[in-house]
Amino acid sequence: MCELVRIPGFYGVVVGVFLFLVTWLLAWLVAEGPALEFDAQGEKGAFEPLLSNYLDVAKFVLGLASGSIVLLVGSATFHAGGRLPSSFASPLFLLALSIIYGVLFMAFMMLDYEDYRHHPQQNSYTRFKYSRNQAFGFGGLACFCIGYVWLIIIVTGQP
């Protein structure tokens, strides 16, 4: 275990996985019943405008996170030896995890909603799928926010 702790970015990965698991647990505890409805009050298609908004927010966060990674890695050429200090690894891993979680959030939301719309009688949107989607969405957002705060602390040199 001591060898893993020495890997640059280890704590960022641990924090990112922890955030995902905590958001999954919270979403699981909040969800009621074995199956959930996408559409409010059973009104067919009521979720589609919300889905579009959710996907837009996810795309926005993905753009900010990926742009930040590109800028930080690109700025490495201005550092001695062409490398960033290893202290940047953990927040970079959090930003990378926010991208991964965001992409998985979008893919699973679309897949689950399509399944729900094509098989309405099966109650296909289960508690598991709901909590997984919430975990990817909010876990990705939490990784993004904490990664940025971590970067600010590193860049400003605050303890």
Task: Please list the ranges in the chain whose pLDDT falls under 50.
Answer: none
> For residue 158, what pLDDT is reported?
61
DSSP-assigned letters across all residues of the chain: -HHHHTSTTHHHHHHHHHHHHHHHHHHHHH--SSB--SSGGG-TTTTHHHHHHHHHHHHHHHHHHHHHHHHHHHGGGGSGGG---GGGHHHHHHHHHHHHHHHHHHHHHHHHHHHHHH-GGGT--BHHHHHHHHHHHHHHHHHHHHHHHHHHHHHHT--
> For residue 109, what pLDDT is reported?
93
> For residue 78, what pLDDT is reported?
73
pLDDT tens column, 110-137: 999 888 888 777 777 888 999 999 999 9
> For residue 84, what pLDDT is reported?
77
pTM of the model as a whole: 0.88
